[in-house]
Structure 1
Amino acid sequence: MKVQEEVSQIVKRAVDRLEKQGGVKQVVWIGAGGSFGGFYGAHYFMQQESSQLYSTMCTSGEFIYAAPKNIDKNTLVVLCSMRGTIETIEAAKVARDSGATTIALYVDESELVEVTDFKIKYESLALDESRLDRVNGSIGLCIAMNVLNEVEGYENYDLAMSSFDLLDPIYRKAVVYTTPLAKEWAELNKNQKTIYVIASGPALGAAYVFSICNLEEMLQLDSPTVHSYEYFNGPFEVTDKNRSIFQLLATGKTRPEDERALRFEQRFGGKKLYVLDGKEIGLDDLKPEVSPYFNHSIFSSVLNNVYMRELSYTTHESYETRRYMWKEEYK
């Protein structure tokens, strides 16, 4: 079964359940780390396309301690955890006890699937054999598109669903295209201790995941994530010839923000300024009506599986290395 069909069936069941309780009023996306950041594309889509449904993101830990008061029987909560993060399981219980309907995204079964109403298995973005349409970010986006279509109607629904079939081929071509470029970037940055990642709009979530999960967690490098517009409200003061800057250029309405930041970076930055353009890695192969919403899926996979890996190979640091994660107590 195609992922679009599986998601459509689950969402229909969830929406039908909510309809008996007065309908869906809001969607809350919950996770930790990459599972949290992976929902950015779904959340961004709903912010742009929904006229009635409210969408928000919340980290698992914050939801446990400070769940919004409006979480109730008219709320759909979508949670993601690869192996069953303790805080995400507890967040699911808080959502359940508040009367919300819940959907769990998971790789390995855990208590999370036991305490949620519906579940969808996804494939890890980090594995080469995983299909891009079946990673967590893509499934989250598919859920958002189906919820919107069920509740309000989505004029580009059929186009969007057919676009999921194109994701994996686009990604495979992007890997071939970017690998030699990433090797050069990695060689240039092999001694760099800080890498700024700058993006906006539909690519901001991918920038965030690249910073905290790839560069900081996996390679133990400092990596501030900066919004392309907010770059001019402070961060641009650190720009100089020696600074390593990784600028994402998204497709979609906010691209001018990225291009403005890039123009300044090109004036005052140096040879360690790097640009990854969504148009060059296949996003223009999708119709413009839906292309922006797939920025996260394409960018995140290329950044994780090409750029992070190449930097790891060049620095001779295994990206499996951790200092604290899974080794020290941090409950």
Structure 2
Amino acid sequence: MKIQDEVKQTVKKAVNKMEHEGGIKQVIWIGAGGSFGGFYGANYFLHQESKKLFSSMYTSGEFVYAPPKNLDQNSLVVLCSMRGTSETIDSAKVAKEHGATTIALYVDESDLVKVCDFKIKYESLALDESRLERVNGSIGLCIAMNLLQEVEGYDDFETAMKTFDLLDPIYRKAVDYTTPLAKEWAELNKDQKTIYVIASGPAYGAAYVFSICNIEEMLQLNSPTIHSYEFFNGPFEVTDKSKSIFQLLATGKTRPEDERALKFEQRFGGKKLYVLDGKEIGLDDIKPEVSPYFNHPIFSSILNNVYMRELSYATHESYETRRYMWKEDYK
């Protein structure tokens, strides 16, 4: 079964369940780390396209301690955890206590799938054999698109659903294109201790995950994530020729923000300024009416599986090592 069909069935069941309680009025996306960041594309899509359905994101820990007052039987809560992060499981329990309907995205079964009403299994973005339409970010986006279609209709729904079939071929082609470029970038930056990642709009979530999960967690390097517009409200003061800057150029309405930041970086930055353009990695092969919403899964996969790995090889630091995660007590 195609993932689009599986998601469609699950969303219909969730919406039908909620009809008896007055229907769905909001969706909340919850996760930790990459599972949290992976929902950025879904949340961004609903902010852009929905007129009625309120959408928000919470980290698992924050949701447990400070759930929103409007959390009730008209809320759909979508939670993601690869193996069952304890705070994410607790978030599902909080959602259920407030009467919300829940969907779990998971790789390995845990108490999360036992607590939630519905479940969808996804494939890890980090594994080469995983198909891009089946990673968590893609499934989250597919859920959002199906919710919009169910609740108020989405004019480009059929185009969007067909696009999921294009994602993996686009990704494989992009891997071949970017690998030699990433090798050069990694060699140039192998001695850097800080790498600034800058993006906006539909690509901002991919930048965030690249910083905190790839560069900081996996390679133990400093990596602030900076919004392309907010770059000019403080962060641009650190720009000079010694800095390593990784600028993402998204497709879509906010691209001028990225281009403005890049123009400044080109004036005052140095040879360690690097640009990854969504148009170069296949987003222009997607119909323009839906292309912006697929920035996140394509960028995230390339950043994780090409650029992070090449930097790991260049620094001779295994991206599988951790200093504290799974080793020290931080519960």
Q: Would the TM-score normalized by the shorter structure come out above 0.5?
A: yes
| Match runs of 1:2-41 below 5 Å | 2-41=2-41
> What SS does the aligned partner of 1:271 have?
coil
Residue in 2 that maps onto 1:324: 324
> What SS does the aligned partner of 1:321 have?
coil
Can you list the C-alpha shifts for 1:38-90, whole angstroms capped at 9, x where unaligned? 00000000000000000000000000000001000000000000000000000
Can you list the C-alpha shifts for 1:254-294, whole angstroms capped at 9, x where unaligned? 00000000000000000000000000000000000000000
| Match runs of 1:1-331 below 5 Å | 1-331=1-331
> What SS does the aligned partner of 1:102 have?
strand
Distance of 1:101 and 1:153 partners within structure 2? 21
Alignment-mate amino acid for residue 57 of structure 2 = M
Distance of 1:154 and 1:118 partners within structure 2? 23
Distance of 1:244 and 1:231 partners within structure 2? 14
> What SS does the aligned partner of 2:57 have?
strand
In the TM superposition, residue 242 of structure 1 has moved relative to its aligned partner by: 0.3
Distance of 2:145 and 2:21 partners within structure 1? 21
Alignment-mate amino acid for residue 62 of structure 1 = E
Distance of 1:270 and 1:176 partners within structure 2? 26
> What SS does the aligned partner of 1:215 have?
helix
How many residues in Structure 1 have an aligned counterpart in Structure 2?
331
Distance of 2:199 and 2:99 partners within structure 1? 36
> What SS does the aligned partner of 1:275 have?
strand
In the TM superposition, residue 19 of structure 1 has moved relative to its aligned partner by: 1.0
Can you list the C-alpha shifts for 1:188-241, whole angstroms capped at 9, x where unaligned? 000000000000000000000000000000000000000000000000000000
Distance of 2:269 and 2:105 partners within structure 1? 41
> What SS does the aligned partner of 1:57 have?
strand
Distance of 1:54 and 1:269 partners within structure 2? 40
In the TM superposition, residue 20 of structure 1 has moved relative to its aligned partner by: 1.1
Structure 1 vs Structure 2 CA RMSD: 0.2
Distance of 1:22 and 1:49 partners within structure 2? 22
Percent identity, please. Answer: 82
> What SS does the aligned partner of 2:328 have?
coil
Distance of 2:14 and 2:159 partners within structure 1? 23
Alignment-mate amino acid for residue 99 of structure 2 = G
Alignment-mate amino acid for residue 300 of structure 1 = S
Distance of 1:18 and 1:296 partners within structure 2? 29
Alignment-mate amino acid for residue 299 of structure 2 = F
> What SS does the aligned partner of 1:36 have?
helix
TM-score (norm 1): 1.00
In the TM superposition, residue 17 of structure 1 has moved relative to its aligned partner by: 0.6
> What SS does the aligned partner of 1:30 have?
strand
Alignment-mate amino acid for residue 249 of structure 1 = L
TM-score (norm 2): 1.00
Distance of 1:181 and 1:95 partners within structure 2? 44
Distance of 1:310 and 1:101 partners within structure 2? 41
Distance of 2:216 and 2:302 partners within structure 1? 17
Distance of 1:194 and 1:280 partners within structure 2? 25
In the TM superposition, residue 112 of structure 1 has moved relative to its aligned partner by: 0.2
Alignment-mate amino acid for residue 193 of structure 1 = K
What stretches of structure 1 move > 2 A for 4+ residues in a row?
A: none
